[in-house]
Amino acid sequence: MKPVVVRNIPRASQNVIAQLAGFGVSTVHEAMGRYGLMKPYMRPIWAGASVAGSAVTVLAQPGDNWMLHVAVEQCKPGDLLVVGVTTDNTDGMFGELIGTSLKARGVVGLVIDAGCRDVKPLTEMGFPVWSRAVSSKGTVKATLGSVNIPVVCAGAAVNPGDVIVADDDGVVVVPLKEAEEVAIKSAERVANEDEKRRRLASGELGLDMYKMREALEKAGLVYVEDASKLG
Amino acid sequence: MKPVVVRNIPRASQNVIAQLAGFGVSTVHEAMGRYGLMKPYMRPIWAGASVAGSAVTVLAQPGDNWMLHVAVEQCKPGDLLVVGVTTDNTDGMFGELIGTSLKARGVVGLVIDAGCRDVKPLTEMGFPVWSRAVSSKGTVKATLGSVNIPVVCAGAAVNPGDVIVADDDGVVVVPLKEAEEVAIKSAERVANEDEKRRRLASGELGLDMYKMREALEKAGLVYVEDASKLG
Amino acid sequence: MKPVVVRNIPRASQNVIAQLAGFGVSTVHEAMGRYGLMKPYMRPIWAGASVAGSAVTVLAQPGDNWMLHVAVEQCKPGDLLVVGVTTDNTDGMFGELIGTSLKARGVVGLVIDAGCRDVKPLTEMGFPVWSRAVSSKGTVKATLGSVNIPVVCAGAAVNPGDVIVADDDGVVVVPLKEAEEVAIKSAERVANEDEKRRRLASGELGLDMYKMREALEKAGLVYVEDASKLG
Amino acid sequence: MKPVVVRNIPRASQNVIAQLAGFGVSTVHEAMGRYGLMKPYMRPIWAGASVAGSAVTVLAQPGDNWMLHVAVEQCKPGDLLVVGVTTDNTDGMFGELIGTSLKARGVVGLVIDAGCRDVKPLTEMGFPVWSRAVSSKGTVKATLGSVNIPVVCAGAAVNPGDVIVADDDGVVVVPLKEAEEVAIKSAERVANEDEKRRRLASGELGLDMYKMREALEKAGLVYVEDASKLG
Amino acid sequence: MKPVVVRNIPRASQNVIAQLAGFGVSTVHEAMGRYGLMKPYMRPIWAGASVAGSAVTVLAQPGDNWMLHVAVEQCKPGDLLVVGVTTDNTDGMFGELIGTSLKARGVVGLVIDAGCRDVKPLTEMGFPVWSRAVSSKGTVKATLGSVNIPVVCAGAAVNPGDVIVADDDGVVVVPLKEAEEVAIKSAERVANEDEKRRRLASGELGLDMYKMREALEKAGLVYVEDASKLG
Amino acid sequence: MKPVVVRNIPRASQNVIAQLAGFGVSTVHEAMGRYGLMKPYMRPIWAGASVAGSAVTVLAQPGDNWMLHVAVEQCKPGDLLVVGVTTDNTDGMFGELIGTSLKARGVVGLVIDAGCRDVKPLTEMGFPVWSRAVSSKGTVKATLGSVNIPVVCAGAAVNPGDVIVADDDGVVVVPLKEAEEVAIKSAERVANEDEKRRRLASGELGLDMYKMREALEKAGLVYVEDASKLG
């Protein structure tokens, strides 16, 4: 694989992206059929952020953040930078300076399968980052990678232009061509959940609301009065 | 092992449970003789919660939260739901909807050896959760487990009705029949610590307060003036 | 290795230590030539603390905090206690009581390659701790270790009197004899970064500011217009 | 919990134990209803051993093997020593000397949720060990634990006298009172598998042999001719 | 994402596949430009196997091996089954029976991002498996996944028909359309390494053979006679 | 820290090194006072090797093996190469070619806190390696490190010229100036263990041989006849 930068990538409509941001990761992930989630070791560096954006992808070498500088130029307002690394690494590839640059270009956030540093200034400037580690470990600028090729980030396949949704629950990847449909299904799901929430809050049991009792009995679930009745 | 739900379990008195909640995990764990602690990978999804409750136990399959729905019905006010899983798993088995249902029934919290999602709404509704991961990963409802049988959760054995104490320091399991005695010992410990805290704050050394100097010397500890005196 | 306590250790000037605290971990680590960082599993128990101090070192046994009591006596105002353990361990070797004692002596913080407990009271009293885990697990006082010998803590070699800098980004060890030079280099770095930050915020690209384009081309980076142009 | 040694424990019949050893871990675990397995980090120090024995249990402190010496005296021929530790630990609590002692008493193997050392001599003397780590790390003899109380070992609850089955696939715990029934079910399973193996080896598909096609269709599985037919 | 089975997939020529098997993982990975490697937690269950085959891919649920049975039917002689799981899981999804079935169909091996059991019989029948764990943990057949869709396995993206090469060093994925070119480059590499090996064995230094001295000096490497010359 | 190569290092006598190799890691580690052991994640790539040698140390960058080539030139017969990395990394920094070069120079083995590849040819040529991972992941030659400076490798501090002992139990570091004394103490230990082994093999209990009964009683250990006697 030769190092390459792809300049033009497809992107979902800002309208769809905004909707997906509003639904949040858990709803979108369910609406997709429980697919596309990054591994749960990806955590936000500060709580409360909730964003969505078009993936500009980077494949970087461990301990080398050269390609992040290259990637900045390829970002447009509304994009979200996604960094995969060729091997497990926690070095602090991203910090305040590149964050300042990304923010100046209208990038909505960063998802990196490595480390992040400058947690305090990044929090103060309100730039959201999801990373596998917080680490000051400085990196070199010595070896090429690529920008805007398909990458694997935290166990999820990401294509340039996919919609990335990220919040306190984690990070999910919505394939570009499914984005619209997922937004519609997410909306249905939310509508449906409001009603469920109300009923559960009033004391109705999920067992009844979801009509699970018959299936449980059929599957063989047995109720006994107390432990003395156990085999 | 056949899937089973035990309807009636013994419970400690609310008075004892309230006392244990007040003492907190570290004190209770010491009062028990340094036993019964869950592994430290169990972390609260929001800081500051401090609760105790009677364990309603669930044994679930990885990636399957069917039995949580079953367990809700077995919970009474003051209970705390404890979920063990048959194999290591971080899927988001628990979220806002079941949380709403548990809260409606007066359950004081959840301890789950798997993932939790909907961190933001659960935090807003003040429902405390201790989990091994935060994850949106949706789960199925396909395979039975059991409710109110003895389980292992995060390395600790839990019997239905044991008192679970959980706060920012972690989660400890107090066997039901020891609960009263542990509360008494915890109270003694707290009384004793107030005095120690005052003395240490005034500058007295632990070496003197605990009278450790003689034992250290006997064990062979040697003091040298500086590094040049080392072999 | 015989158990030993070294009473007198060299220390950097309070002026240099205060400067290093102000620069923070990421800047200091870069100024040192990207060296001396502890592993990123070391996390603060509360966010926002930023300190530096002279290392008083402890080598402890797993699950045994006897030597922490011994070490307290060797601490002076402005010191920072660093605890290495002979084997991986997450037990709660440190809590509120020893914290009270350290604070009374003017110690600025604790770095421990094991567990910390009493997170809430330690946070309330504003005593900062960096640890590999939060755990209530009580420890014994049975086996000797040493105080003020060279130790390895979270992958970093620490000599007594080295300057430890710790903040939200992690923990870095500055060898005593390099402390002054590192402070100077850090100051240069900060001055330099202010200018960079301003330029990046105004939209200038790092590619141009750092003059990377030629080196990237030389290394073989290829730009293509879109994915259809990929091999 | 006070430190205690229980001298007399119940044991399964040698006949049942021998049968369970013959069936092996995977078969026994399935016959039990997929329950009782220790976590897969437990690995044999040498390949090919396959044993079963009555559990003599030890609860030890991290880095302290005092109670192993105490436990040896409680072992009878056909027993298998199971060591749980109060906190995660990989120290080499067990080695050739205690192995020699156990072998002299007719103990069939050791399962330890910590480290093992002297791998070479233990292999040469044919004493099988399942452990979470291989480590030379020496341990102290300073703090009491207990012998023959219920313990949690590698995520599984073990009661004294339970039958432990261990081979290259891992370690499973068969509760004493279920041992006979599990042996019967294991035998049925083995008989049944011989037939299955023959049919599969002859080219019959599991889909047909297990009659899965209807259920798969009902669950919604769709077959398409090639990738161009995907949405 | 709907559950689907794709019946027809493209495959590389048997000639190219055989060549890649002969070169081995490390050579092929280098020839590809250091790309496509699965994470190193993937280990063979027995040493010495070295295979290559066309990927038939499975996306499975944690603890559920239903789709493996479905996948067997899609395998042809020379194929290699690759199993990704929607979430981290170590359950023993694969064992002797499915192994027997795969062998009967001429499948050359299995790569699974989960657990494998029946290590002994699989070793005896010479069926090679690379897995993240060995575990007896039984699995259910309850929830659909897919066969022959793109999956992520152990951090690597795998498309149906890609050539998988696996040996004692690990597992590498060669994209179908690059397979021929990678075989050619691997052959060149091997030829080149034979010469290098001979020179190094004769005592020539890599520093000279690779002509590194000038680059090292330019990069700033300094030689000093002994430690007393260090700053 | 500037990149540097130190040409001349002190070394222990070959006689002492040979003795330490003969005693093995567990004995030497105990003779040192249970100190200096590398973490147990360091495993040999093939079983049965047992070596000792003078440490030539390397500090390398993650994913960069340039300094290994530099280090080869500094090795003399009887040396053992020790590679620390500035951050956690599993890349295959070492393989058959450098192994061939080291062997040609009489180097006795390699200890690397990263990955090793070419397991099969290295095994066939009988060159022993202890590493944290097996991985084909290729590395670059882009960034300098140092040779023969003090490093931390797998949690242990190593100075150039220290004696490294490695076998199936792990890796231990003997400080150069302690090597002779440790060899003497190891010899005493071995002599002492032969007698112990004989007595334990004859059925004598460790409890009696080590005269532990009184200390156990004093510490409060209680014996009860059976579980019914427990509180």
State the pLDDT at residue C230. 83
Residue F231 has pLDDT above 80, yes or no: no
Distance from CA of E63 to the nearest CA of B (A): 6
Note down pLDDT in tens along chain D; length 231 residues: 689 999 999 999 999 999 999 999 999 999 999 999 999 999 999 999 999 999 999 999 999 999 999 999 999 999 999 999 999 999 999 999 999 999 999 999 999 999 999 999 999 999 999 999 999 999 999 999 999 999 999 999 999 999 999 999 999 999 999 999 999 999 999 999 999 999 999 999 999 999 999 999 999 999 999 999 886
pLDDT tens per residue, range E93-112: 999 999 999 999 999 999 99
Distance from CA of A166 to the nearest CA of B (A): 11
pLDDT tens per residue, range A193-223: 999 999 999 999 999 999 999 999 999 999 9
Strands E222-226 and F129-134, bridge-based pairing: unpaired
Residue C6 region by backbone torsions, left for phi larger than 0, else alpha for psi between -120 and 50, else beta: beta
Place of tokens 């250790």: C9
Nearest CA in chain C to D136: C87
CA angle B194, B196, B201 (to 5 degrees): 95
Chain F residues with at least one Cβ partner in A under 8 Å: 61-64, 86-91, 135, 137, 140, 142-143
Chain A residues with at least one Cβ partner in B under 8 Å: 24-26, 29-30, 34, 37, 40, 43, 48, 50, 167-170, 172, 193, 196-197, 200-203, 205-207, 210, 212, 216, 219-227, 229-231
Percent of chain A, pLDDT > 70?
A: 99
**Torsions phi, psi for C126 (to 5 deg):** 70, 30
D13-18: long-range contacts at Cβ-Cβ below 8 A with a sequence spacing of 24 or more? D13/D180, D14/D78, D16/D163, D16/D179, D16/D180, D16/D183, D17/D52, D17/D53, D17/D54, D17/D78, D17/D163, D17/D179, D18/D52
- C182 Cβ partners below 8 Å, 6+ apart? C20, C28, C31, C32, C174
State the pLDDT at residue B229. 84
pLDDT tens per residue, range D18-67: 999 999 999 999 999 999 999 999 999 999 999 999 999 999 999 999 99
State the pLDDT at residue C186. 97
CA distance F102 to F122: 11
Residue E113 has pLDDT above 90, yes or no: yes
- D159 Cβ partners below 8 Å, 6+ apart? D55, D57, D150, D175, D176
**pTM recorded for the entire structure:** 0.97
Burial string for C85-105 (b: 16+ CB within 10 Å, else e) reads: bbbbbbbbbbbbbbbbbbbbb
State the pLDDT at residue E208. 97
Which chain F positions have a beta carbon within 8 Å of D3's beta carbon? 219-222
Confidence band for A229, pLDDT divided at 50, 70 and 90: confident
Distance from CA of B57 to the nearest CA of C (A): 22
Residue B1 has pLDDT above 70, yes or no: no
Subunit contact D35:B2, Cβ cutoff 8 A: no
Q: Which of E86, E87, E150 is opposite residue A157, by nearest beta carbon?
A: E150
Helix (H/G/I), strand (E/B), else coil: E152:
strand
Residue F142 has pLDDT above 90, yes or no: yes
Chain C residues with at least one Cβ partner in F under 8 Å: 1-2, 32-37, 39, 86-88, 150, 152, 155-157
Subunit contact F155:C155, Cβ cutoff 8 A: yes
Question: Are the CB atoms for C184 and A136 separated by under 8 Å?
Answer: no
Which chain C positions have a beta carbon within 8 Å of B220's beta carbon? 2-3, 144
ipTM strictly over 0.85? yes
Residue C1 has pLDDT above 80, yes or no: no
The whole-chain average pLDDT of chain E stands at 97
Confidence band for B230, pLDDT divided at 50, 70 and 90: confident
Which chain F positions have a beta carbon within 8 Å of A88's beta carbon? 88-90
Rg (CA), chain F: 21
Nearest CA in chain E to D218: E144
Tell me how crowded residue E225 is: count the other CB atoms within 10 A of its CB. 9
Residue C49 has pLDDT above 80, yes or no: yes
State the pLDDT at residue E34. 94
Confidence band for E145, pLDDT divided at 50, 70 and 90: very high
Question: Are the CB atoms for F173 and F84 separated by under 8 Å?
Answer: no
Residue C231 has pLDDT above 90, yes or no: no
pLDDT tens per residue, range B128-183: 999 999 999 999 999 999 999 999 999 999 999 999 999 999 999 999 999 999 99
Q: Which of D86, D132, D141, D149 is the best mutation test for B, with the most CBs of B within 10 A? A: D86
E181 membership: H or E segment, kind and range: helix E179-201
pLDDT tens per residue, range E57-67: 999 999 999 99
Distance from CA of B61 to the nearest CA of E (A): 8
Tokens of F223: 């014996």
State the pLDDT at residue D230. 83
Nearest in space to A93 (alpha carbons), one of A116, A123, A69, A61: A116
pLDDT tens per residue, range B39-63: 999 999 999 999 999 999 999 999 9
Tell me how crowded residue B15 is: count the other CB atoms within 10 A of its CB. 10
Helix (H/G/I), strand (E/B), else coil: B224:
strand
Q: Which of F1, F87, F152 is opposite residue C33, by nearest beta carbon?
A: F1
Tell me how crowded residue D70 is: count the other CB atoms within 10 A of its CB. 26
Strands C163-167 and C51-60, bridge-based pairing: antiparallel
pLDDT tens per residue, range C102-146: 999 999 999 999 999 999 999 999 999 999 999 999 999 999 999
Question: Are the CB atoms for A179 and A15 separated by under 8 Å?
Answer: no
CA angle A136, A141, A142 (to 5 degrees): 130
State the pLDDT at residue F119. 98
CA distance F130 to A88: 20
Chain A residues with at least one Cβ partner in E under 8 Å: 1-2, 32-37, 39, 86-88, 150, 152, 155-157
Alpha carbon distances (Å) from D98 to A141, D81, D164, F27, F196:
54, 11, 20, 15, 10
State the pLDDT at residue A1. 67
Subunit contact B152:D156, Cβ cutoff 8 A: yes
Strands F51-60 and F163-167, bridge-based pairing: antiparallel
State the pLDDT at residue C229. 85
